[in-house]
Structure 1
């Protein structure tokens, strides 16, 4: 990282338009596709500044699990849109997306990063188990650690705002997709700092039958109660279930029982999970 980037990192929560090299998987062939809009936090910004991508290795599973389209991506906890943008640029079978993000700061950058993609809809509210407004916790250093779950920021410097939340239902997701996209096969991505199990268990079997790949972050922290049997049913509705740890990035197939056991821990460790109808490697 060069000296100018180091100065920006020290100035936390400043906004920056970051120019991308031609080899970056975040670079698109559209107006403004050579730059992205970021906040200079201590986590997302330094990674993108150094690598010019966002967990690109993990997105390879989209090509394996969803080889032909058309697909619609549901991105819950979209942050500034790096995941959605990268997927839409690199996987032509994914032709539309719905992005949900309750943080006003993130939503501003999310809209900038996806504005040249007319197939994307951005919604400035979170999804949960009820409608209304809730306390929303924003980590002061890690721009990826924003959540309605208070335990996500336990022991860390943070801010608290009030943010909009809508009860997640299949009907609401279909409405947000629009008539054309609602008929497509689906890819699910959620990263909500410990709320993923609750969200997934709220949706009926009819929804999950439409999903060919689901990826979510599982964090071993305190979480809201949810229908454990419904969540188990979601896991069991997919033939293949995998876990990837944060360090070695090795893909391991596991059982639904092992997944639930892992998620029941409270040692603040985390891993990514992939649910697929096709074998991944």
Structure 2
């Protein structure tokens, strides 16, 4: 973290942003340390929380510049998601691929309908930032430092060297990227859902696992899936591990309302056709009841 923040601070002030770097950093750094992120404080109430709250953002070349510039992250998708929560209903949010907590943090600032959140994030660096960033809501959040997949165990996990949002169990997420491999814990999705998802609470679903969403969705029991009122899923056109296409179709068909990117009233066949591609493009799928 040893570099001068003056230029960043001047830029943010000039743009009248509501987030500001905390303090100056020393000119030198001990050789046993490495810079991994920045700690910010909110100057005003905004999408990321209340004035005075802190925000921890790991360094990368994709997410951190956008968060620093805008003091929010993919807010339009999040606002659309919140707009489809049923009025007067309280929810448990399933945030699978929670990353550093931007979605869970912003949705709880935006809506008082999220009563609980289950945040699943396998990467230990992102998980540390996730816990820090959701500290203001820690009384209603459960944290799981693991991936969801087909079975319990220790598995290979791929980390994009330039994008903290592109960490995945799917090796094709690293196509033409610099990356490293680590080992992480994985839970059987069916078993995890049975153990941790209440059978009473209405559910909201957000998943962004960089090409592993289909596996997780199809292994989510239908009796749980049918209690989800709104779902936001990243659909990425990359090579994917095997999954049950019929089970995926049934879960998509259970939602009467579907929007893929800007395309409204999209059919399940159109969604399946899109996700079957391999050109590394992606869109967000929003579904609601």
TM-score, normalised by the number of residues in structure 2:
0.85
Of residues 158, 179, 183, the one that matches 1:158 is 179
Matches within 5 A, 1:163-174: 163-169=184-190, 171-174=191-194
The answer to whether the aligner puts 1:216 opposite 2:233 as a matched pair is yes
Of residues 4, 8, 11, the one that matches 1:4 is 8
Q: 1:111 and 1:26 mapped to 2: Cα distance?
A: 15
Of residues 104, 111, 130, the one that matches 1:110 is 130
Q: 2:263 and 2:279 mapped to 1: Cα distance?
A: 22
The answer to whether the aligner puts 1:63 opposite 2:82 as a matched pair is yes
Deviation for aligned residue 1:239? 0.2
Contact 1:139 1:158 in 2 (8 A): yes
Q: 2:171 and 2:276 mapped to 1: Cα distance?
A: 17
Of residues 95, 119, 127, the one that matches 2:148 is 127
Of residues 34, 58, 61, the one that matches 1:39 is 58
Instruction: Report which structure shows greater RCO (CA 8 Å, sep ≥6).
Output: 1
The residue that corresponds to 1:247 in the other structure is none
1:163 is paired with a residue whose SS is strand
Unpaired segments ≥5 residues, structure 2: 12-24, 26-33
Deviation for aligned residue 1:40? 1.4
Deviation for aligned residue 1:130? 1.2
Q: 1:195 and 1:155 mapped to 2: Cα distance?
A: 18
Q: 2:263 and 2:114 mapped to 1: Cα distance?
A: 23
The residue that corresponds to 1:261 in the other structure is 273
Q: 1:272 and 1:159 mapped to 2: Cα distance?
A: 26
The residue that corresponds to 2:247 in the other structure is 230
The residue that corresponds to 2:22 in the other structure is none
Structure 1 runs of 4+ off > 4 angstroms?
none
Deviation for aligned residue 1:198? 1.2
1:97 is paired with a residue whose SS is strand
Given the superposition, is the C-alpha separation of residues 93 and 251 from structure 1 closer, same or farther in structure 2, using an over 3 Å criterion? farther
Q: 1:130 and 1:201 mapped to 2: Cα distance?
A: 13
Unpaired segments ≥5 residues, structure 1: 245-249
